[in-house]
């Protein structure tokens, strides 16, 4: 009964298959005929243009003694040239308009047929609306040829699968008949498509061949994995036979799509024939054979996508085995397989790197090769780390050193090869540097790793300057960055145990990182003095190294002060002491900022001064809550730290006008801002000392009134001293600032002091402020009279800004 049902089912399948193929064939024939018609139209246009050019060409001058051109010289009248009628010359005199009459057409002169080469015809004009690309537009060709084939193949496979599923669910065909039907359909597609892989139906034929080969793959898998008709050996042989046949078709007809299909089928075979047991040796041997064939084909045809398919499939299958079946007893098998696959793909990528472009050879893409070249060692390192997780760390470090040495030698050889890819040597040297850095990371602990990386980066930087290799210096900069990031994570180690700072486990790493960064800055400084300043990213290397050299020490001290509670420094003083540490750190940055053309150091100092100034201003309320014995007047930590900050701002104002790399206007503004900041900070801290000074024997309200009167006296004295300095050094900015402060003081006395203070405090405020105002006015007038009486020749030269 099943045998009788096979014939109608086979007829239905052939009908379903024949209709789409017929549609595709008619569409392809239509496109071909359309292209031919367009080419004929273009040829006709060229012929017409050539005939017109020949008609417009002047007739050649006959030789002396030759008969007139207009008379025939023999019986062959076909070679006679018809001479045009004589045309009278046109005179300049105007003539009366003649009545309209039809003018007979003038005969067209024909050029005589003379022996010799024909004149070259001009290039035909492009016809309006003509399409390029062989008569079919590029977009139309892709849509009508390539994508219709691909989409049609996919839809056809889906339709066949749904039909077969429908037939199998109703048990129309038994297991053996199903497999046989699939083999017949696949062979039919492949055999019918093989005849047209070289003709005009190349693209649709590739789609049909892909459908047939996919059907054969599915049929072989169904015979083993679904119905159990055959054992694993025959199924493996069938799948391998289909793969070999597919690859042969791809090579013969240069069909990348078929090669990709064959590669995918070969890599899916172990998955389709999985038995649920650990057969690692057989899997790895099969993958080695498949990868060798795929890589050979990819190298021969320069198919980068096939190389990527082989690498990706192998990585996935090896990773699946590693997660599912790896045990400590399988270390040798796993490590040998990983090493073998790595060497296979690394050598294939190294050999497959395209040579540089020349005048007679264009450059080939390097992306696929570079991707495999970089991904192979990365995945190998990850696999080795997973395999050697229970082994000593020195084993993985030795593997990293071997990889570093191998890539260094390969890079040197690639650089010396005249036909090598220019990017290959750089990639090899970069990988050598990466694995050398990983060797330190694997072998040493966290603290020792910072020391090792710092020393390595310094050595690479020195070698890069000695050998004039910018790549080595770039690698050194990258390793410096890694060492600094690792160092920053060490600051949370340890605790308040043992001696201050000495017992901190991060101290050796900090010293190593700080010293190496300082020596690297000196290397760049020596290079700059030798007349070879850094360019590009190296221009900012020296200031960044200086920032880290000083900043790392300040950071470690700050962290140690913040968590060390056994010092003689009371806890309320710790934030202020940390601020003093950073003020001291700003001094070398400010000193070196004079020769820094990148403006990085002066920018860092400016930001630090802003933070310290804001912290100082906002720290006064916290000090008001301390016990009186912890905040003695004037001689306390807060006021002394504030004085240091004022000195730092004053130094900033002195350094800013002589900075390099800034415009004159910018330098002047920075200097003025530094001076203003110093004056305001001094006034604020003096005012804070008056307000925070403990007054014994007075109540809270009485003490507040006394402090308010003291602020008025302080501001008046500060304004008076500022006015005197402005008059002495002839600084208009100081005199204007003194006047403004006098105005604020008078406003405070007339509003706040008169309204809220006791009589004694009002009297003191009014007398002191009024007397200082009169004295300041007297000094101001006297200074102006002295300047008016000075001879012009003895006048003191005025400073550049802010001076009368």
Alpha-carbon torsion, ordered 545, 546, 549, 555, to 10 deg = -110
* pLDDT in the model for residue 114: 41
Report the C-alpha gap between 756 and 752 in whole angstroms.
6
Report the C-alpha gap between 665 and 339 in whole angstroms.
64
- pLDDT tops 60 at residue 386: yes
Look at residues 771, 770, 776, 683 and name the one whose alpha carbon lies nearest to residue 727.
Answer: 776
Residue 305, C-beta contacts closer than 8 angstroms, at least 6 positions apart: 256, 260, 368
The CA-atom distances, in angstroms, between 683 and each of 383, 613, 660, 722 are 66, 13, 31, 11
Global pTM reads 0.61
The average pLDDT across 526-543 equals: 86
Total Cβ atoms within 10 A of residue 87: 7
Q: Are 353 and 369 in contact (CB under 8 A)?
A: yes
Report the C-alpha gap between 734 and 726 in whole angstroms.
5
* pLDDT in the model for residue 798: 42
* pLDDT in the model for residue 679: 92
Q: Are 292 and 346 in contact (CB under 8 A)?
A: no
The average pLDDT across 411-427 equals: 78
Q: Are 515 and 452 in contact (CB under 8 A)?
A: no
* pLDDT in the model for residue 311: 95
* pLDDT in the model for residue 565: 67
What does the angle CA 199 – CA 203 – CA 209 come to, to the nearest 5 degrees? 95
Q: Which two tokens stand for residue 465?
A: 């300057």
Residue 731 has what DSSP assignment?
A: B
* pLDDT in the model for residue 435: 93
Q: Are 625 and 602 in contact (CB under 8 A)?
A: no
Contacts for 668-674 with beta carbons within 8 Å, 24 or more apart? 668/800, 668/801, 670/602, 670/606, 672/733, 672/801, 672/802, 674/649, 674/650
* pLDDT in the model for residue 514: 95
3 state DSSP class of 131: coil
Residue 630, C-beta contacts closer than 8 angstroms, at least 6 positions apart: 570, 572
* pLDDT in the model for residue 803: 42
- pLDDT tops 70 at residue 761: yes
Q: Are 769 and 745 in contact (CB under 8 A)?
A: yes
- pLDDT tops 60 at residue 196: yes
Report the C-alpha gap between 474 and 789 in whole angstroms.
67
Query: pLDDT tens-digit profile of 595-623?
Result: 888 889 999 999 999 999 998 888 777 77
Total Cβ atoms within 10 A of residue 612: 22
Report the C-alpha gap between 85 and 88 in whole angstroms.
10
Contacts for 190-194 with beta carbons within 8 Å, 24 or more apart? 190/216, 190/245, 190/249, 192/21, 194/249
Q: Which two tokens stand for residue 17?
A: 């298959």
Residue holding tokens 């071909």? Answer: 32
What does the angle CA 335 – CA 338 – CA 343 come to, to the nearest 5 degrees? 125
- pLDDT tops 80 at residue 360: no
Residue 195, C-beta contacts closer than 8 angstroms, at least 6 positions apart: 205
Query: pLDDT tens-digit profile of 150-176?
Result: 566 667 666 766 766 666 667 777 788
Least confident of 220-224, 373-377, 493-497: 493-497
């Amino acid at each position: 009964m099943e045998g009788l049902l096979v014939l109608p089912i086979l007829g239905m399948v052939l009908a379903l298959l024949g209709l789409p193929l017929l549609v595709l064939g008619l569409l392809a024939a239509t496109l071909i005929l359309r292209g031919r018609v367009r080419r004929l139209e273009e040829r006709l246009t060229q012929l017409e243009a050539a005939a017109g050019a020949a008609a417009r060409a002047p007739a050649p001058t006959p030789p002396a003694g030759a008969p007139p051109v207009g008379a025939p010289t023999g019986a062959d009248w076909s070679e006679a040239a018809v001479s045009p009628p004589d045309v009278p010359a046109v005179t300049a005199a105007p003539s009366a308009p003649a009545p309209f009459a039809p003018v007979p057409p003038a005969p067209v002169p024909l050029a005589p047929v003379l022996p010799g080469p024909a004149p070259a015809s001009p290039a035909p004009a492009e016809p309006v609306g003509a399409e390029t690309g062989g008569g079919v537009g590029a977009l139309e060709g892709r849509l009508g040829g390539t994508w219709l084939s691909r989409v049609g193949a996919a839809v056809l496979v889906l339709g066949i699968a749904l039909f077969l599923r429908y037939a199998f669910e109703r048990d129309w065909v038994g297991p053996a008949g199903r497999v046989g039907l699939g083999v017949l359909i696949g062979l039919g597609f492949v055999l019918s498509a093989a005849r047209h892989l070289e003709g005009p139906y190349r693209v649709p034929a590739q789609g049909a061949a892909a459908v047939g080969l996919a059907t054969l793959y599915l049929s072989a898998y169904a015979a083993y994995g679904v119905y159990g008709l055959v054992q694993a050996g025959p199924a493996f042989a069938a799948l391998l036979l289909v793969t070999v046949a597919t690859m042969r078709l791809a090579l013969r007809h240069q069909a990348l799509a078929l090669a990709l299909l064959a590669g995918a089928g070969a890599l899916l075979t172990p998955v389709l024939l999985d038995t649920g047991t650990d057969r690692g040796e057989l899997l790895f041997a099969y993958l080695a054979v498949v990868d060798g064939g795929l890589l050979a084909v990819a190298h021969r045809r320069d198919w980068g996508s096939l190389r990527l398919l082989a690498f990706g499939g192998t990585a996935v299958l090896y990773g699946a085995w590693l997660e599912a079946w790896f045990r400590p007893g399988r270390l040798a098998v796993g490590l040998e397989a990983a090493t073998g696959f790595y060497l296979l793909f690394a050598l294939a990528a190294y050999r497959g790197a395209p040579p540089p472009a020349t005048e007679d050879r264009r450059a080939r893409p390097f992306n696929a090769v570079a991707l495999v070249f970089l991904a192979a060692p990365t995945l190998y390192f990850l696999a080795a780390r997973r395999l050697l997780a229970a082994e000593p760390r020195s084993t993985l470090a030795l593997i990293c050193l071997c990889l570093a040495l191998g890539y260094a030698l390969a890079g040197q050889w690639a650089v010396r090869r005249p036909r090598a890819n220019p990017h290959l040597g750089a990639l090899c040297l970069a990988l050598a540097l990466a694995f050398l850095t990983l060797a330190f990371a694997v072998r040493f602990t966290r603290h020792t790793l910072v020391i090792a990386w710092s020393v390595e980066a310094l050595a690479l930087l020195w070698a890069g300057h000695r050998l004039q290799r910018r790549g080595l210096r770039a690698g050194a900069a990258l390793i410096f960055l890694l060492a600094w990031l690792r160092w920053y994570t060490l600051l949370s180690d340890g605790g308040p145990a043992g001696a201050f700072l000495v017992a901190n486990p991060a101290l050796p790493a900090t010293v190593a990182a700080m010293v190496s960064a300082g020596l690297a800055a000196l290397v760049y400084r020596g290079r700059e003095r030798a007349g070879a300043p850094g360019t590009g990213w190296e221009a900012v290397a020296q200031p960044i190294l200086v920032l880290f050299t000083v900043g790392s020490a300040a950071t470690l001290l700050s962290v140690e002060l913040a968590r060390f509670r056994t010092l003689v420094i009371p806890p309320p003083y710790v934030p202020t002491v940390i601020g003093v540490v950073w003020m001291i750190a700003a001094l070398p940055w400010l000193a070196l900022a004079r020769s820094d053309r990148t403006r990085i150091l002066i920018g860092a100092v400016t930001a630090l001064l802003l933070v310290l100034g804001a912290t100082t201003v906002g720290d006064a309320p916290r000090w008001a809550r301390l016990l009186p014995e912890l905040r003695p007047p004037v001689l306390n930590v807060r006021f002394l730290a504030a004085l240091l900050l004022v000195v730092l701002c004053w130094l900033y104002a002195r350094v800013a006008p002589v900075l390099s790399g800034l415009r004159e206007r910018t330098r002047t503004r920075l200097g003025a801002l530094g001076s203003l900041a110093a004056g305001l900070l001094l006034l604020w801290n003096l005012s804070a000392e008056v307000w925070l000074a403990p007054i014994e024997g007075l109540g809270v309200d009485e003490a507040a009134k006394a402090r308010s009167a003291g602020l008025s006296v302080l501001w008046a004295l500060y304004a008076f001293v500022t006015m005197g300095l402005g008059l002495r050094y002839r600084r208009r900015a100081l005199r204007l600032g003194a006047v403004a402060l006098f105005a604020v003081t008078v406003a405070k006395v007339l509003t706040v002091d008169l309204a809220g203070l006791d009589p004694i405090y009002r009297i003191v405020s009014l007398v002191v402020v009024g007397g200082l105002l009169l004295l300041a006015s007297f000094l101001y007038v006297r200074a102006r009279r002295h300047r008016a009486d000075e001879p012009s020749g003895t006048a003191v030269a005025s400073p550049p800004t802010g001076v009368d």
